[in-house]
Amino acid sequence: MEKLLSVDPTRIGRPDVPPCSDAIDESLLDGTPARLKSDLVELLGEDLVRHRITDLVRYASDASPYRYVPKVIVQPRNVDHIASLFAYCVRNGRHATFRAGGTSLNGQSQGDDILIDVRQHWSGWGVEDNGKRIRCNVGTTLLRINEALKPYGRRMGPDPASLNAATIGGVLANNAGGMRCTPAIDSYHSIVGMKIVLTTGTIIDTEDPNAEGQFARSEPLMAAGLMRIREEILADQALSDRIVRKYTIRNTNGYAMHAFLDGKTPVEILRRLMVGSEGTLGFVAEATFTTYRLPKRTMVAWLPFETLDDAVAQVEKIVALGASAVELMVGSMMTAAAKVMEGTPAYWRNVDEKNAVLLVEFGLDTDKELEDIERKVDEGLSAVNLLQPLEFIRQEEAVELAWHIRDGLLGFVGVARPQGTSLVIEDVCFPPQQLAAATHDLTNLLAKYGYQPVAAGHAAYGNLHFTMLTQFSEEESRQRYDGFMRELVELVVEKYDGSLKAEHGTGINMAPFVRREWGDKLTDLMWDVKNLLDPHGILAPNVLLSHDPLIHLKNLKSSPAIEDVHFASHCIECGFCEPVCPSRNVTVTPRQRIVLRREMARQPEWSKLLTKLQHEYEYDAIETCAVDGTCADACPMGINTGALMKHLRKMEHSSTAEAVALDIAQNWGEVERLARLGVKAADILQGITSPHLLTVLTDVVRSAVSKDLVPSVAGPMPHAAPAELPKTQQQGAAAVYFPACINRIFGRDNSKPAFPALPDVFVKISARAGKPLWIPDDVRGLCCSTPWSSKGYKQGQTWMSEQMCDALWRWSDGGKRPVVVDAASCTLGLKEDILEHLDDERREKLKRVTIIDSIAWCRDLLPALNIVRQIPEIVVHPTCSTTHLGLNESLLEISRALADHASVPLGTTCCGTAGDRGLLHPELIHSATRDTLIQIQRSSADTCFVSANRTCELGMRQTTGRLYESFIFALEEATRVTN
């Protein structure tokens, strides 16, 4: 067969929109200036310096409305690297900004010189004192820390909605809050120790008994200066009282000046000052937190009220009853959410603008305690006119749905916004007893300036969030935004003496207004802190404090339209997708794929910079995208960036390539045979020749067919699947069994017997449970069509989809008999992917066929099977397909039934194999599994490693060195009766 033709990557072109005024100038075509690049390579090593134009562009955006193009990105590995970078900045008059998760909403992780990425090499944690404390590296996500604490019945105090992506470094740098985070348990109050790198290069471990002495000896001016500021504040009683009063509610605007009242020594003050300092005073490399009890039971309730005032009037009473969270949404937000979000209460569609709802949560340890709370709440609200009867929700999935709706603010605003507009998210705080009046004033102000008058927030703390949609490419929109911000400042500060920033940090956006909130004396003392700890001004200029009164209006980013595949053009660049992306540690993330496309849209057509971005985009974005779709699960708007990459792959294919892919689909039976022979030949030579030669041998077969459509194995080579499938009977069969083509090509691991193969074992275990399977005679040559779908070959996918649909309809006797599939990705392909390539008649037929994955099938077989031997430990690898199918818990349930202990390693995401994408690009699998590799390799020798997809098992075997097989083998062995 003809080899697929390569094509010019610039065929992806650029979106058909006019270039934007904030397009990057061609002077940056070569990326980082040569001298800066060579200096930093010499300082850190080439592998830790990102200098291409693509790198500069992809790091130029975060979740804020700002865009600062860095000169270079560095990814230091340790505190010595950080100290060296600080010294370099001092020597050369440069400045640096820290970036971790990039979920900053106000520009805290934005800089135009050296950008220091502290996500890449700064993950890890250690649980201490039976979970009462945890020591964290700052690149670890908050979600991962909470997962580590869950077995101890503990949790972190901060719980922002961004916890899946926000890192510990960002959480403490902004003193992030959240739904359940009272001021008493935020980072400022729960951090008990930290390791700090000062701008001078001095490293202070605040938990070291000798820390005070070391600080005084190493940095006498800093130590004495902190005590001088403390004395000045204590000498002014009115100033001290104001600081105390300002921190009775949430406040992250400016530096944490209560550090000078709460800390009595230089190190105690320094530790507290670093919280909320947004990377402007030094670098926190490690932090130790006190943790808090995690309730065993949780319930929620929606409480709808006639008016906002009625809702707010009940908050104090509900908090007094022990509510862990009280969230407020106004009526206009309820109706907006009901239009675009599934699962919202039915009555939301018809609420009035003046209505409001509270989402309340209670967490306790027993059902009896929850029942008592239900009764007390019912009694407490008996005289209140609720729009709907009080109903508490306890089911875990329903509780999660309620919080998903509350957290969906970003999602439904982002999806509904016009293309080209930017989304600005702000948060302010008022004294809780004034929340109702303040909410009215805030929504009226939003309406005055033409913004949607909706707000939501943490009612228990007086904290409100709101959004603004604006066109920053237009002068009128920028001026309107500035006018609103200035009136907002007056409203919050003058009328309510509230906080201009409650939990999102100050950032660039609020830096010009710090003085307005705190007054001259305290703001001048803040500048004293900055100049004392960063005397050369090397860290994050204009972040948190700025002498420029218009800095909040500069470097505002445009949002040019791109291909709107799965809402890609509506991306708000929040970064929630990044922790689950398989390529996150090797090339780019979903957010960065979109950021780069937007820069291409900004560029004049066929500019040199555009051409270079297109060229680098081919590998970085398109080739190394797993198109696994897990980014859509993490995205507030459900954007599947993989779908966009598939779209671009389709654009790249020539008509010749499409024809070859179609020919391969039409001759798939012969492809199977050739591939199986190639694997078998390599299997025979196993052990008597080099792995490289085996790879070459199988590549000969792939070259004869298609390197793009036939899977590769970098090693170790498994057995070939048997040429013959097991004999089965149609009569009396409980279901049709479709063995996936990957299981008809690749057999078991070479360390195991070649027979029985997976189809044999699956047939055997099903018969053992009294549910015999039937394999039709004509399964060979048929495929779920995923190989064509993931690579964007439309003609081949359409042809195979039609053949597959007709076969399923025929085998199932018109949908009367279910069809079982033994590979999760194939199950997903048959249930979802092929539908879009079928005509209406076939689509309706396929919808009537019940397709069951082997996990669900075997879960239902368990009661009929007798487990005669337990496996000591099973480590489970859930795949992206089992996640989409909702079968991860079922796979874990089966494993727990078979083993003394079964678990999923913390941080497990899609392994990056993605069909054969990771086998074509092994670096993708290494990137995807990097965070879990240490846990996996620590497992004992008798640990059983299971999954539910053969290519994923091959990929995990390749990158971890552990033998991964289908869970079906373990199930059969554990239930096998021997004489």
pLDDT in tens, 831-865: 988 998 899 999 999 999 999 999 999 999 999 99
Supply the DSSP symbol for 756.
Answer: S
Whether the predicted pLDDT of 2 surpasses 70: no
Residue 99: inside a domain: no
Residue 303: inside a domain: yes
Q: What percent of the chain has pLDDT over 70?
A: 94
Residues 725 and 590 both lie in one domain: no
Question: Per-residue confidence at 6, pLDDT binned at 50, 70, 90?
Answer: very low
pLDDT at 701: 42
Q: Which of 885, 873, 780 is nearest to 823 (CA)?
A: 885
Helix (H) or strand (E) holding 289: strand 282-290
Structural domain containing residue 314: 297-411
Residues 626 and 726 both lie in one domain: no
Whether the predicted pLDDT of 741 surpasses 80: yes
Residues 239 and 219 both lie in one domain: yes
Average model confidence (pLDDT) for the chain? 91
What would the mean pLDDT of 793-816 be, rounded to a whole number?
95
Whether the predicted pLDDT of 706 surpasses 50: no
Domain boundary among 388, 411, 434: 411
Whether the predicted pLDDT of 15 surpasses 90: no
The string of pLDDT tens digits covering residues 164-197 is 999 999 999 999 999 999 999 999 999 999 999 9
Q: Which of 12-21, 421-430, 489-498, 816-825 is least confident? A: 12-21
The string of pLDDT tens digits covering residues 367-383 is 999 999 999 999 999 88
Question: Per-residue confidence at 693, pLDDT binned at 50, 70, 90?
Answer: very low
The string of pLDDT tens digits covering residues 645-669 is 989 988 888 888 889 889 989 999 9
Asked whether the bond before 756 is cis by omega within 30 degrees of 0, the reply is yes
Whether the predicted pLDDT of 546 surpasses 80: yes
Residues 885 and 764 both lie in one domain: no
Residue 567: inside a domain: yes
Whether the predicted pLDDT of 710 surpasses 70: no
Spatial contact of 459 and 315, defined as CB atoms under 8 Å apart: yes
Task: Please report, to the nearest 10 degrees, the dihedral formed by the alpha carbons of residues 573, 786, 792, 53 taken in order.
Answer: 40
Q: Which of 940, 970, 953 is nearest to 870 (CA)?
A: 970
Residues 222 and 259 both lie in one domain: yes
Residues 132 and 270 both lie in one domain: yes
CATH number of 924's domain: 3.40.50
Residue 118: inside a domain: no
Tell which phi-psi region holds residue 382, choosing left (phi > 0), alpha (psi between -120 and 50) or beta. alpha
Distance in angstroms (rounded) separating the CA atoms of residues 312 and 68: 40
Three-class SS state of 305:
strand
Residue 551: inside a domain: no
Residues 287 and 319 both lie in one domain: no
The string of pLDDT tens digits covering residues 328-385 is 999 888 888 888 788 889 999 889 989 999 999 999 999 999 999 999 999 999 889 9
Residues 731 and 583 both lie in one domain: no
Residue 845: inside a domain: yes
Residue 821: inside a domain: yes
Residues 270 and 324 both lie in one domain: no
pLDDT at 792: 85
Residues 827 and 872 both lie in one domain: no
Question: Per-residue confidence at 790, pLDDT binned at 50, 70, 90?
Answer: confident
Residues 685 and 760 both lie in one domain: yes
pLDDT at 689: 40
Domain boundary among 363, 395, 411: 411
What does 599-645 look like in DSSP terms, one character per residue? HHHHSPTT-HHHHHHHHHHIIIIIIT-----HHHHHSTT---HHHHH
Report the domain count for the chain: 5
> Which residues 6+ apart lie within 8 Å of 730 measured at CB?
774, 776
Whether the predicted pLDDT of 766 surpasses 70: yes
Distance in angstroms (rounded) separating the CA atoms of residues 272 and 276: 9
Domain boundary among 851, 871, 901: 851
**331-340 vs 409-416: helix crossing angle, rounded to 10:** 70
Question: Per-residue confidence at 16, pLDDT binned at 50, 70, 90?
Answer: low
Residue 831: inside a domain: yes
Helices (H), 51-203: 53-58, 79-92, 142-149, 168-174, 187-190
> Which residues 6+ apart lie within 8 Å of 690 measured at CB?
none
Question: Per-residue confidence at 140, pLDDT binned at 50, 70, 90?
Answer: very high
CATH number of 345's domain: 3.30.70.2190
Residues 763 and 905 both lie in one domain: no
Q: Which of 87-96, 609-618, 673-682 is least confident? A: 673-682
Whether the predicted pLDDT of 588 surpasses 60: yes
Q: Which of 947, 954, 966 is nearest to 922 (CA)?
A: 954
